[in-house]
Amino acid sequence: MKPLLLIDVDGPLNPYAAKAQRRPEGYRTHRMRPTGWTEAERAKPLRVWLNPGHGAELLALSEVYELVWATTWKDEANDWIGPHLGLPGLPFVDWPVMHGRAPRGTFWKTQYILEYAGERPFAWIDDDITELDREYVGLHHPAQTLLMRIDGRIGLAREDFDTLAAWATPSPVDY
């Protein structure tokens, strides 16, 4: 069974924290109205920057991972994000509570990531991962993990895809 690749949208795929007047190179601007944004009754649609090359990179990683949305967009990532990246519909973590309490100062998603993963190995890309999350996962998850904090001003970079591929690809046995 392949390890999971748990994918956050805002930060890794949408470098929302980049300066508003400076769209990162390779990214395209999209205007969206996901449910949470519409319910907020904002006048302007949400600006989302996506790099279409990330879709091909993620599809390549699907050879060694099972891709899963781990985002507050939940299933709406399949409607709003995936099509712009050329991704098929993906399973998603259905957070029982968003932005709630978390154990020992960890990010609120961490406890639910562990529940979703069960005993499977996983890699998780998110802009809110901290050392406390790494420590907590290390103590409470029985399988291998890779927690990658992605800078929300930059998004996923070439090195990140290389790291993910190397982590999930079995090494040849030396004879």
Residues 126 and 107 sit within 8 Å (Cβ to Cβ)? yes
Higher pLDDT, 35 or 77: 77
| Residue 20: per-residue pLDDT | 74
Higher pLDDT, 174 or 102: 102
Residue 173 has pLDDT above 70, yes or no: no
Distance CA 53, CA 27 (A): 9
Q: What is the mean pLDDT of residues 23-48?
A: 79
Which residues partner with 146 through β-bridges?
A: 123
The chain-wide mean pLDDT, for the chain, equals 91
pTM of the model: 0.92
Residues 134 and 147 sit within 8 Å (Cβ to Cβ)? yes
Residue 26 has pLDDT above 70, yes or no: yes
| Residue 165: per-residue pLDDT | 97
At 12, list the tokens.
């890794």
DSSP state of 108: T
Higher pLDDT, 24 or 124: 124
Residue 38 has pLDDT above 90, yes or no: no
At 67, list the tokens.
């891709």
| Residue 33: per-residue pLDDT | 84
| Residue 174: per-residue pLDDT | 45
Count Cα neighbours of 77 within 13 Å in the Cβ-side half-sphere. Answer: 27
The gap from C-alpha 47 to its chain's centroid, in whole angstroms, comes to 18
Domain 4-14+52-168 has CATH 3.20.20: no
Domain layout of the chain by residue ranges: 4-14+52-168
Q: What is the mean pLDDT of residues 37-66?
A: 86
Q: What is the mean pLDDT of residues 40-49?
A: 76
Distance CA 144, CA 79 (A): 31
Residue 45 has pLDDT above 90, yes or no: no
- List CB contacts of 113: < 8 A, sequence separation 6 or more: 6, 70, 93, 122, 124, 137
- List CB contacts of 61: < 8 A, sequence separation 6 or more: 5, 67, 161, 164, 165, 168
Q: At 96, is the pLDDT very low, low, confident or very high (cuts 50, 70, 90)?
A: confident
Q: What are phi and psi of 152, to 5 degrees?
A: -70, -5
